[in-house]
Amino acid sequence: MAFKNSVVIFSLIIILSLFPLSSPLHYQHHHHFRPPGIVPSAASLSTFLPQITPSPAPAAVSGGGEWTLLHRSVGISAMHMQLLYNNKVVIFDRTDFGPSQIILPFGKCRHNDEAIPEDCTAHSILYDVATNTYRPLMVQTDVWCSSGAVTSDGRLVQTGGYHGGDHKIRLFTPCEDELCDWIELSQSLAVQRWYSSDHILPDGRVIVVGGRRAFSYEFFPKNQDSSKNGVFYFPFLIETTDPKEENNLYPFLHLLPDGNLFVFANRRSVLLDYKKNRVLREYPVIPGEKRNYPATGSSVMLPLRLHPGGVDGPQRISAVEVMVCGGARGGAHMMAAEGVYVAASRSCGRLRVSDPDPRWRMEAMPVGRVMPDMLILPNRDVIILNGAERGTAGWESAEDPVLNPVLYRPSEPDPSKRFTVLNPTTIGRLYHSAATLLPDGRILVGGSNPHVQYNFTGVKYPTELSLEAFSPPYMGSEYAYMRPSIMSVEGSTESLIVSYDQKFSITFSLMQPEGECTVTMVAPSFTTHSFAMNQRLLVLYVAGVQQTSSLTHRITVRAPPTANVAPPGYYMVFVVHQGVPSQCAWIRIK
């Protein structure tokens, strides 16, 4: 999909080649860019067509960005999202809501539903980014508040859920024939996993951590030599549980370049050696509010920048930093049950975990947020969107949706200039909303079901079945001439396989080649409940550049050095020119 625009670009190249070149490109590691639904019948087609319309125009904000309504309804509420390497997104909510607004194809029905005796509606869809269409999928058991990760061969492994689904392991394998669907494995998790978090590991396994009343972790596939059915007790999860409220569910997981796992829950964080089941160090407590479900904040590991390690030496990473934003005061969830909605946290903390004596450095967002989604953009900025100004996660537990995304520039030296407020949406996204980065640099946004069932009337914040896209400022038409277009990767296919530390080249075109370029590599995330699991961005080391024609260039980069730095699997690769990213090309590292 990264190459669909090449014909148009080549036509432009022929025209623009008559004009003189601007100043040459510079390849550096810095940048200065500032720049309710239709219900299909049982006779409907299984693929549903686009409904692209501009979102109603709210008041403009200097930070920019544009919202587009993709579909008024996709039939389900987008509680969970995962982008796959074929540019399709698996989206699902839960099976015990009652009937959704999209029919399963071919007369399929489930008869094990906890809400109704027979359910012939879908609770999962497959969304095609390129065509803006979708088709229903069938999950067998309840996937409510579950977790997931993509395996090294590109399959979505999805773990846990509620009641009949809380021990289940499901797979979704990408395909192009419109026939692939969920497969539920006969193998089960050792304990129930509801509100747990997953992460892909350097050896290709997936670690599943925590969950409600699950103070442990386990692996998929299981260790062959592990005792106690492959479950490893993790006392940290008991220590961080608040009475009645918990505030440590969906723990934030980040795989560090040393191969160990950073685990954050409530207000505390530790470095876990999951191979030996021991905590290597405990980090300082973050100041301020609680940060995990239901006092839900969000977290990212900031971009990892690769540097050469001397003459043909191993690559190195200068610093590793984790950021945590938003959340709610202790007791806020209990107060919301009484109709009192406490102001959400405005604070963000950055912790340089690679320092010998790390300390949280605190900053303030323009507005408080509970249930924010944090995503790393291809140009290394962080976008914060969705959520509410007051309350916590949970049924009917929040008020005042935050409609404006916020852009955060981690590399800006002046803290007062790091946050920029962007243009607002008109759709509030509260509990059970989600967002994910798309291959063209947009953000897919959906969901919001802050009620026990699908409630569309009689409530202040109705269930949202709509799907939107947010285009960050770098996608504005005024920056079109700055946007690179990837033509090939090593002159090979879109799913090029590269080895660790291997050099590979990207050929791209550029209408006006001036300023700096970088190459970034982004792991697609499994997003639910305000946490994008497995998310990471690497800034690749540029080994050389060659101008191949007036408007085309070949840039040679080195792949990440080890699986600790980049676990095996599929990644989006972007060429970024002065803060403006190309559409991605997919590579697989193994």
Strand partners, 509: 485, 552
Give per-residue pLDDT as tens, 98-154: 899 999 999 999 987 777 889 999 999 999 999 999 999 999 999 999 999 999 999
Give me the half-sphere count of Cα atoms (radius 13 Å) on the Cβ side of residue 121.
22
Give per-residue pLDDT as tens, 482-525: 999 999 998 555 568 999 999 999 999 998 877 789 999 999 99
Using alpha carbons, select from 210, 96, 90 the residue that is nearest to residue 154.
Answer: 90
Average pLDDT for 194-223: 96
Give per-residue pLDDT as tens, 266-315: 999 999 999 999 999 999 999 999 999 999 999 999 999 999 976 667 89
Neighbour tally for 586: CB within 10 Å: 22
| pLDDT band at residue 97 under the 50/70/90 scheme | confident
The pair of structure tokens assigned to 324 is 């945590």
The CA distance from 209 to 199, in Å, is 8
The CA distance from 488 to 506, in Å, is 6
Lookup result for tokens 């972790």 = 217
* 228 three-class SS: helix
Q: What is the CA radius of gyration of the chain?
A: 23
The amino acid present at 519, given as its one-letter code, is V
The CA distance from 215 to 231, in Å, is 10
Give the E-state strand segments of 235-381 in sequence order. Answer: 252-255, 261-265, 268-273, 278-282, 298-301, 304-307, 316-317, 321-325, 347-352, 360-364, 373-376
The CA distance from 389 to 144, in Å, is 25
The CA distance from 271 to 282, in Å, is 6
The CA distance from 411 to 577, in Å, is 16
Asked if residue 329 lies in contact with residue 372, where contact means CB atoms within 8 angstroms, the answer is no
Asked if residue 460 lies in contact with residue 104, where contact means CB atoms within 8 angstroms, the answer is no
pTM for the whole structure = 0.90
